[in-house]
C-alpha cells in the first residue's frame, strides 16, 4: 500500500510504498518533549520503502543520542521521522495522512507519564520498557 505523510505547513512530503511496523507510544519525558505532546506516536518503516517527495531541503536534523536522530520541517516544526545512522528508521504517526492500516500496539514508560495525562483503560501499557512485568 502507498502511505503518504506531510508536515503541518505541507512543505515537506513523503511516501511509503509498504507497511508500517511496530507502532508504539512512549510516555517518557524525552518523548513528550520530542513530540510536543503527552507521548510519542511512532512506527518503524523499512528504509527501502520510504522516499521524500517534496521539501527534503527544508529538513533540519537533531541527534538526541549518538546515531539516533529526528528530522523536522524547518518552517513549521513538525517532527516527521526518526533516523538511525543517518537513514530513516521510522515515522511519527501524527504526520501521516489518512489510515496507514496500523494501530498503536503498546504504550511504554507510562510510569513516567506527565501528571496531567490520564491513561485510558484497556491499553497494553508497560511501566518502563516492554520487558518488565507490567
Residues of this chain that bind Zn ion (CB under 5 A): 7, 9, 11, 26, 28, 31, 73, 75-76
| Closest to Zn ion by CB, 5 or 100 | 5
Shortest reach from residue 86's CB to Zn ion, in Å: 21
Which grid cell sits at 6? 506531510
Q: Name the β-bridge partners of 88.
A: 83
| Closest to Zn ion by CB, 47 or 76 | 76
**Cα distance between residue 112 and residue 126, in whole Å:** 10
**Would you tell me how many other CB atoms lie within 10 Å of the CB of residue 110?**
20
Shortest reach from residue 106's CB to Zn ion, in Å: 12
Positive or negative, the CA dihedral 34, 35, 36, 41 is negative
| Closest to Zn ion by CB, 48 or 117 | 117
Shortest reach from residue 57's CB to Zn ion, in Å: 12
Amino acid at each position: 500500500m502507498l502511505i503518504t505523510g506531510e508536515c503541518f505547513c505541507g512543505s515537506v512530503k513523503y511516501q511509503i510504498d509498504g507497511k508500517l511496523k511496530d507502532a508504539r507510544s512512549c510516555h517518557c519525558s524525552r518523548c513528550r518533549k520530542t513530540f510536543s505532546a503527552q507521548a510519542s506516536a511512532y512506527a518503524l518503516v523499512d528504509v527501502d520503502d520510504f522516499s521524500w517527495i517534496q521539501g527534503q531541503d527544508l529538513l533540519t536534523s537533531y541527534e538526541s543520542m549518538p546515531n539516533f536522530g529526528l528530522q523536522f520541517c524547518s518552517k513549521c516544526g513538525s517532527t516527521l521521522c526518526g533516523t538511525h545512522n543517518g537513514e530513516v528508521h521510522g515515522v511519527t504517526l501524527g504526520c501521516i495522512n489518512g489510515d496507514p492500516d496500523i494501530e498503536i500496539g503498546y504504550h511504554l514508560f507510562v510510569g513516567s507519564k506527565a501528571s496531567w495525562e490520564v491513561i485510558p483503560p484497556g491499553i497494553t501499557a508497560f511501566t518502563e520498557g516492554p520487558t518488565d512485568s507490567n
